[in-house]
Amino acid sequence: MAEPERPQIYLSTPPEIELSTFPARLAKVLDDHDIACLRLALATSDEDRLSRAGDALREVAHARDVAIVIDAHVALAERLGLDGVHLLDGARSVRTARKALGADAIVGSYCAQSKHDGMNAAEAGADYVAFGPAGASLLGDGSRAEADLFQWWSEMIEVPVVAEGALSEDVIAELCQTTDFFGIGEEIWRQEDASAALAQLIAAMG
């Protein structure tokens, strides 16, 4: 039997970025590693800041043939010439986003730990479903997307799945047979050498 393909890397920005320095950090990571998609995941809802970040990072990503999506802001995705949107409300906005952005756009859906939301998002036309946090996290109520959720999804559902949130080398080693993408962000950006940190996580896939 053929070995299953190794999961791809789906990279997120940190929640706060400095536009004078972050594009160069990002460029190095994209140059050093094979990245499937970049997600603009800033904590701000200020449209001006999001637009300036979107313009700068789109240039870095598209110059390297990497797709870029934005958290939640369907209108900004279209206005900034991004490749799609990453929705944060499960299945609720998938159809609306798809209608607004068209068939070729990337529409992804974060569904926390809900198999039900994931199935509904897939049925509504999401290109991928993300579950998380996949590792132990102090955020929220401490709930996590367990390994058996990814196992079930990979066996039953054809829509690609992303494992994200609090990823460690151990979690990556555990899930690499049952997820299509690892959503990696803060895990590497909080390190001085983000590219080396990502190399270490990738190595955990074996």
Cα-to-chain-centroid distance, residue 189: 14
The structure's pTM equals: 0.96
With contact defined as beta carbons under 8 Å apart, do 27 and 60 qualify?
Answer: yes
Percent of the chain with pLDDT over 90: 94
pLDDT of residue 24: 98
Per-domain boundaries in the chain: 8-203
Specify the residue for token string 């990245």: 35
Q: Any idea which of 11-20, 45-54, 58-67, 138-147 has the lowest mean pLDDT? A: 138-147
pLDDT in tens, 132-175: 999 998 777 889 999 999 999 999 999 999 999 999 999 999 99
CA–CA separation, 39 and 11 (whole Å): 6
pLDDT at 3: 52
The CATH number of the domain covering residues in 8-203 = 3.20.20.70
Report DSSP letters for 63-109, one per residue. Answer: HTT-EEEEES-HHHHHHTT-SEEEESSTTTTHHHHHHHH-TTSEEEE
pLDDT at residue 137 in the model: 83
Task: Label residues 33-58 b or e (16+ Cβ within 10 Å = b).
Answer: bebbbbbbbbeeeeeeebeebbebbb
| Structure confidence at residue 140 (pLDDT) | 75
- pLDDT 10s digits, 71-127: 999 999 999 999 999 999 999 999 999 999 999 999 999 999 999 999 999 999 999
